[in-house]
A and B are shown apart, each in its own frame.
Chain A
Amino acid sequence: MRHIISLLMENEAGALSRVAGLFSARGYNIESLNVAPTEDPTLSRMTLVTIGSDEVIEQIKKQLNKLIEVVKIIDLTEGDHIERELMLVKVKAIGDGRDEIKRLTDIFRGSIIDVTDKSYTIELTGTSSKLDAFLQSIGQGIILETIRTGASGLGRGDRMLKL
């Protein structure tokens, strides 16, 4: 199953490579990973998306907790949570296609943030599967470039990852 794991860790050089190293050394999957400092600059928060059986996910969480720089972790997918990913996608936009792309972008509540005579750049946020769906709708043929941040998330309501 797909899991979104959030971690708070010491904002120190090398912490990221410990997490990345752990995943490659133990043969775990990483779908996506992002990290940035939090409101407390001594801490960074990482979001990891991984896929594995219950046993593997259990080990992943234990191994992450074991890293000295990891302060706390939460498996967002274990309870109510909000998931968001940001995507920028540049598409070929010429002739009639321009309207069609605009309409699709509106349906998905995205916005066009850069325009040239041949292309649009669209910004879209949502769950990862919503972004997948958008890419599918718009069709491989006209996509020039995409960049995605990977999923981030927070627990709903009182579910929090805090010290």
Chain B
Amino acid sequence: MTEELTGAEITIRCLQEEGVEYIFGYPGGAVLFIYDELFKQDKVKHILVRHEQAALHAADGYARSSHKVGVALVTSGPGVTNAVTGIATAYMDSIPLVIISGQVPTAAIGQDAFQEVDTVGITRPCVKHNFLVKDITELATTIKKAFFIASSGRPGPVLVDIPKDVTQQKAHFSYPDSIRMRSYNPVINGNTKQIKKAAELILSAKRPMFYSGGGVILDNAAGVLTELVELLDYPCTNTLMGLGGFPATDKHFVGMLGMHGTYEANMSMQYCDVLIAVGARFDDRVIGNPKHFYSEDRKIIHIDIDPSSISKRVKVDIPIVGGVSQVLKELIKLIKASKEKTDAIALKEWWKQINLWRERDCLKYDRSSRVIKPQMVIEKLYAITKGDAFITSDVGQHQMWAAQFYPFDKPRRWINSGGLGTMGFGLPSAMGVQFANPSSTVACITGEASIQMCIQELSTCKQYQLPLKIINLNNRYMGMVRQWQEFFHGNRYSESYMDALPDFVKLAESYGHVGMKIEKPSDIEGALKDALKLKKRLVFLDFITDQTENVFPMVPGGKGLSEMILV
């Protein structure tokens, strides 16, 4: 017979069995027994954040940058409600997380007990799945299922709600090696016939285009995708979530596409005749007005592990349900073995056209400006870090400039909230990235509005000596909001000015960090170099940037991809 353990012990033992290194959390009444068990062991290291939202973002950054499951622990009631933004953020970007939440004792459920909320109900629409464990004998298998569901198929957050009495009760513990669920069997292998049809269509293309997204990153398929694109000599674009899934400095890369994508990417997307969509979900920020997108004739191949992503917003011709990696490998085999070759003449014409679009130089900006241009800060950061840093970002203009001006050659280096667009994500997610990659440079590109949404985490950074570099592109505006108001609301800057800003240098110092304020373009490089030399310190770089700078190109809402506003 196996030993008898309490629910709290079982919880921690499960995490140990899963090889969990870090758990990000915040204590409270309902999870006190679990915290007590954490205290008694040292395999699973607990990281104390300053707000539950940050626990989720940190676990999320850890997961995105490491391909492991991120784990968070929160108490019942307000612990859970604070965590919801973080859970929804991970859900929208398909990030594998396991969230353990405390619940009031079983007998008190439904009584409006102290710190009771219907956690399963509140989180249901923003998790891949959730469980309420009422029976101690089901605790271990439930946690096993949670890790399995979170990390397989289309990944996502899974929450396990544990009532306090369950953490006290005892049961025999044994952790299953593997788990099978009759109701959950994600398809990994694509249909062979469909893959064959796709290979034929790909080879027959005259104006081909690869469009790849977050699925490539999630499936660790960057290498295979790169091999296929190079083999064919076809152009490739990435979504915001797909950046790094194809090397941005490769000549086949035409930049990010979509609302703030490059001219060449959007034009190629609009005018290609065969589109190969790989782990991307035809988001509204990507294809613009669907009617306009349909106005050009093209055949679409769509590879995605989630059938519900296929033909959801755009009807496709060859759907392939399966894992990106597996399907692309099959495609490479078929294409290499095929007697048909790509249409060299048509391809040459197509590249000629794309290079003409490239000449439009859509990302140009005033490099001789006397005020700091945000784009220049990012370009210099790229040069100084040799493109090898992990970059997290918040949400706004700075996020788009980071995506445009820091070309990522490797996957899992670009960490941002794309689907939910959560301000406050940047700093806590950077903490998680730094835990997963302790010897790497981790920079958080943020804005003065976003950074204030989770600024309390500077305290966590101090406690754990996280040497993050915070690049605050301070334009004294909610720049992205101001830009929309300038373009679409007659310059009425309703509530988008950031007044009464703190002195960020002093603020950083009061948390025990280094602060720098940079006001001249000529000081950018020196400041970045100085900051990066401080290998053990968090440095908050407050760049006072041009207040009126806008993000270009821009596809306005309701417009088509080829109807960009350009500089």
Contact = CB atoms under 8 A, between A and B. Distances in A.
Nearest to A58: B311
B370 to A, nearest CB: 51
Interface string A62-80: 1101101111000000000
A17 B124 contact: yes
B148 to A, nearest CB: 10
- Residue from B149, B182, B183 with most neighbouring chain A CB atoms (10 Å): B183
Contacts of B306: 66
Contact of B183 (A13, A58, A68): A68
Contacts of A18: 124
- Residue from A13, A17, A62, A71 with most neighbouring chain B CB atoms (10 Å): A62
Interface in A42-56: 55
A63 B128 contact: no
Contacts of B181: 68
- Interface of A (DSSP majority class): helix
B120 A14 contact: yes
Interface string A27-52: 00000000000000000000000000
Nearest to B310: A62
Range class of the B interface residue count:
10 to 19
Nearest to A72: B183
Nearest to A69: B183
A14 B128 contact: no
Interface string B69-103: 00000000000000000000000000000000000
A163 interface: yes
Nearest to B321: A62
B308 A66 contact: yes
Interface in A11-29: 13-14, 17-18, 21, 25
B308 A55 contact: no
Contacts of A68: 128-129, 149, 181, 183-184
A62 B120 contact: no
A25 B128 CA distance: 14
A59 interface: yes
Contacts of B120: 14
Nearest to B154: A66
Contacts of B129: 68
B183 A9 contact: yes
Interface in B175-194: 181-184
Interface residues of A, number: 20
A136 to B, nearest CB: 39
A43 B495 CA distance: 54
A142 B308 CA distance: 47
Interface string B180-223: 01111000000000000000000000000000000000000000
A69 B128 CA distance: 11
A70 B311 contact: no
Interface string B110-122: 0000000000110
B308 A63 contact: yes
B468 to A, nearest CB: 36
B125 A65 contact: no
B121 A10 contact: no
Nearest to A13: B132
A125 to B, nearest CB: 31
A13 B183 CA distance: 15
Contacts of B182: 71, 163
A109 to B, nearest CB: 39
Contacts of B132: 13-14
B307 interface: yes
B183 A21 contact: no
Contacts of A25: 125
Nearest to A25: B125
B312 interface: yes
A65 B185 CA distance: 10
A18 B132 CA distance: 14
Contacts of A55: 311, 315
Nearest to A64: B308
- Residue from A14, A21, A163 with most neighbouring chain B CB atoms (10 Å): A14
Contacts of B149: 68
Interface string A148-163: 0000000000000001
Interface in B153-191: 181-184
A78 B385 CA distance: 58
A35 to B, nearest CB: 15
Contacts of B183: 9-10, 68-71
Interface string B304-318: 001110011001000
A21 B124 contact: yes
A50 B121 CA distance: 24
A62 B308 contact: yes
Contacts of A14: 120, 132
Contacts of A58: 311
A69 B125 CA distance: 15
Contacts of B311: 55, 58
A21 B124 CA distance: 8
A14 B121 CA distance: 9
Interface in B287-315: 306-308, 311-312, 315
A17 B130 CA distance: 12
A59 B128 contact: no
A65 B307 CA distance: 9
Contact of A21 (B125, B184, B307): B125
Interface string A83-123: 00000000000000000000000000000000000000000
Contacts of B125: 21, 25
A13 B132 CA distance: 9
A66 B182 CA distance: 13
Interface of A: 9-10, 13-14, 17-18, 21, 25, 55, 58-59, 62-63, 65-66, 68-71, 163
Given A14-B120, A55-B315, 8 more contacts: A10-B183, A55-B311, A68-B128, A68-B183, A68-B184, A71-B182, A71-B183, A163-B182
Interface of B: 120-121, 124-125, 128-129, 132, 149, 181-184, 306-308, 311-312, 315
What 7 A-B pairs have minimum CB-CB distances, sorted nearest first? Answer: A62-B308, A71-B183, A68-B129, A62-B307, A68-B184, A25-B125, A63-B308
25 contacts: A9-B183, A13-B132, A14-B120, A14-B132, A17-B124, A21-B124, A21-B125, A25-B125, A55-B315, A58-B311, A59-B308, A59-B312, A62-B308, A63-B308, A65-B308, A66-B306, A66-B308, A68-B128, A68-B181, A68-B183, A69-B183, A70-B183, A71-B182, A71-B183, A163-B182
